[in-house]
């Protein structure tokens, strides 16, 4: 048990390695900019210092300019972008406005490190790229998995791939989630600029998007549909206690899938392992978990003849 817990802790800490938020290096260098005038940000840091006066084309600033502070949650609109080649810190200055009165200048690098686009999807990407949040979620998943392992030693309960319910939806959810993880990591490796564009201009519509991004969005919608179907099947197939345990174990397995396939794809092993995993998952379902009978009284799916677990009737 201690060895299993240590192994799970190692994998949980590795969860903080992949980052969802795109790098802002291109914007800081001025070569690529995914926002423009009138673009809306939200301040995600505790505070940000803005300079009141417009930056000047001078190597030496004679005096410290007046400044003021905006705080977390304040909306900021891009009002002007200025290039100051003499500035050795960052040649790009951005004027942002909280309102018509509160307006000021800040280095682009400082701005982009402190703000998030004013869009729920971008805010979600920013939230789950925070290493502190990922570490906290990892520890929660570790504790959940360790608790489930202890429960499994004391009593039997259903778990996907091992002792699954008579439904293909949980298995399909795991395979789709693994595929989405491999595809997401592929975008991060081979098309990071594509993810940067999506971060600043997100959408839920897969149509009209580049191929990789369209596939990822289709998978995201497919996962949402499978999650709803899985919840409905679990509700109908298991008691309340068993359903909670099953969903907790499914959550832990999905977290493990994300960790494993995101790391494996970074070393270009994820594609082969995904094919192996999908083949084994589908084969395991058809061999062991696909129902071959139905109860003659209530119609519940049965793996084998005998007493129906739902109504208790004997099926010969």
Cβ neighbours of residue 222 closer than 8 Å, sequence gap 6 or more: 176
Cβ atoms within 10 Å of 220's Cβ, excluding its own: 15
Bigger pLDDT: 195 or 140? 195
Cβ neighbours of residue 268 closer than 8 Å, sequence gap 6 or more: none
46 — phi, psi (to 5°)?
-60, -40
Q: What is the mean pLDDT of residues 147-159?
A: 73
Which single residue is written with the structure tokens 């070569």? 31
CA angle 136, 138, 143 (to 5 degrees): 95
Largest CA distance in the chain: 95
Q: Is the pLDDT of residue 3 over 60?
A: no
Percent of the chain with pLDDT over 90: 42
Q: Is the pLDDT of residue 30 over 70?
A: no
Q: Is the pLDDT of residue 62 over 60?
A: no
Q: What is the pLDDT of residue 20?
A: 56
Burial class (CB in 10 A: 0-12, 13-18, 19+), 295: buried
Per-residue pLDDT of 94-151, as tens digits, reads: 999 999 888 999 999 999 999 999 999 999 888 877 665 666 667 777 777 777 777 7
Q: Is the pLDDT of residue 7 over 50?
A: no
Mean per-residue pLDDT over the chain, rounded: 81
The pTM of this model reads 0.78
153: tokens are 């030693």
Q: What is the mean pLDDT of residues 34-62?
A: 83
226: tokens are 């499978």
């Amino acid at each position: 048990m201690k060895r299993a817990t240590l192994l799970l802790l190692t994998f949980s800490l590795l969860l903080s390695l992949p980052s969802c938020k795109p790098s802002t290096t291109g914007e800081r260098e001025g070569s690529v900019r995914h926002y423009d005038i009138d673009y809306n940000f939200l301040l995600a840091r505790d505070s940000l210092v803005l300079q009141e006066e417009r930056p000047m084309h001078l190597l030496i600033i004679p005096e410290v300019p007046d400044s003021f502070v905006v705080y977390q949650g304040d909306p900021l609109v891009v009002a002007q972008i200025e290039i100051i080649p003499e500035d050795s810190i960052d040649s790009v200055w951005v004027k942002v406005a909280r309102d018509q009165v509160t307006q000021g200048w800040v280095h682009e690098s400082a701005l982009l490190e402190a703000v998030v686009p004013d869009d729920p999807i971008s805010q979600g990407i920013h939230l789950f790229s925070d290493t502190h949040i990922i570490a906290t979620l990892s520890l929660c998943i570790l504790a959940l998995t360790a608790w489930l392992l202890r429960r499994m030693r004391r009593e039997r309960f259903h778990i996907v791939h091992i002792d699954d319910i008579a439904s293909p939806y949980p298995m399909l959810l795991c395979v789709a989630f693994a595929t989405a993880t491999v595809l997401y990591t592929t975008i991060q490796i081979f098309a990071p600029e594509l993810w940067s564009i999506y971060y600043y201009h997100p959408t839920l519509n897969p149509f009209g998007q580049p191929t990789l991004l369209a596939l990822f969005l289709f998978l995201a919608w497919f996962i949402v549909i499978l999650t709803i179907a899985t919840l409905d099947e679990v509700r109908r197939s298991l008691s309340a206690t068993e359903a909670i345990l099953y969903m907790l174990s499914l959550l832990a397995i999905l977290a493990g899938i994300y960790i494993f396939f995101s790391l494996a794809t970074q070393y270009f092993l994820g594609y082969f392992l995904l094919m192996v995993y999908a083949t084994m998952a589908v084969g395991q379902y058809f061999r062991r978990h696909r129902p071959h009978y139905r109860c003659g009284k209530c119609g519940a799916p049965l793996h084998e003849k005998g007493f129906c677990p739902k109504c208790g009737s004997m099926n010969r």
